[in-house]
Amino acid sequence: MDFTGKRVLITGGSRGIGKACAEAFAKRGAKVAINYVRNEDAARATLNGLPGKGHILAQADISDPSAIEGLITDTVTGLGGLDIVVNNAGVSQRHPINTVSYEEWQDSWDRILAVNLRAPANVIYWATQHFLKNGGGRIVNVSSRGAFRGEPEMPA
Ligand SMILES: NC(=O)c1ccc[n+]([C@@H]2O[C@H](COP(=O)([O-])OP(=O)(O)OC[C@H]3O[C@@H](n4cnc5c(N)ncnc54)[C@H](OP(=O)(O)O)[C@@H]3O)[C@@H](O)[C@H]2O)c1
């Protein structure tokens, strides 16, 4: 696949699967914006390891609904446009119903839904506002086997 000239935002691109996506896109000619929340060292190391030129860092806590419009604007400014978004950032924390307190149960559901469900929806909203005015784009949502079979120790 050839992505020469394409501009790609990868949420949670500093580590793990997002880092692998960043490397794969950059290797095929794309310019990549690496979003991360707090691990700047990892994000910078990933950025410095990418082949090609013009890649950027795009720090934002995507669980904060008010941070998303700025993330898209910063990406468009930094990359000179936006063609593809990979909604990859995610968190997991164990919260088995037979051991956690009600407070921990609430905390897990709030945190996981904010990052893994609501944040991608908000990224989709603001990326689409850009795509509608600029000839379209593509959105890839990274999911989990947990969506198909459930995760007993991480029901959220
Ligand atoms: N690994 C698996 O076995 C597995 C299985 C099923 C599904 N998945 C899904 O695959 C995706 C990637 O998983 P992974 O294991 O590669 O993740 P990971 O290695 O734990 O990395 C998580 C990434 O998300 C970022 N992130 C977390 N919270 C964020 C927030 N509030 N705002 C912005 N960025 C945030 C982290 O940034 P910082 O570096 O700044 O912390 C990091 O870049 C997730 O959606 C996950 O649900 C993974």
Please tell me whether the overall predicted TM-score, pTM, comes out greater than 0.95 for this model. Answer: yes
Please give the pLDDT value at position 62: 98
Please give the pLDDT value at position 146: 86
Query: Ligand 1 mean position to 143 CA, how many Å?
Result: 11
The residue contributing the CA closest to ligand 1 atom 25 is: 12
Which residues fall within 8 angstroms of residue 113, CB to CB, at 6 or more apart?
156
Please give the pLDDT value at position 36: 98
CB-side neighbour CA atoms (13 Å) of 67: 16
Query: Ligand 1 mean position to 91 CA, how many Å?
Result: 5
Ligand 1 pocket test, candidate residues 44, 63, 91, 113, most atoms within 8 A of CB: 91
Which CATH code, of 3.40.50.720, 3.40.50.800, 3.10.20.600, 3.40.640.10, is assigned to 7-149? 3.40.50.720
Is any atom of ligand 1 closer than 6 Å to the C-beta of 12?
yes
Please give the pLDDT value at position 133: 97
Q: What is the pLDDT along the chain (156 residues), one digit of tens a residue?
A: 999 999 999 999 999 999 999 999 999 999 999 999 999 999 999 999 999 999 999 999 999 999 999 999 999 999 999 999 999 999 999 999 999 999 999 999 999 999 999 999 999 999 999 999 999 999 999 999 888 898 999 999
Task: Write down the domain spans for the chain.
Answer: 7-149
Q: How far apart are CA 64 and CA 45, in angstroms?
A: 25
Please give the pLDDT value at position 10: 98
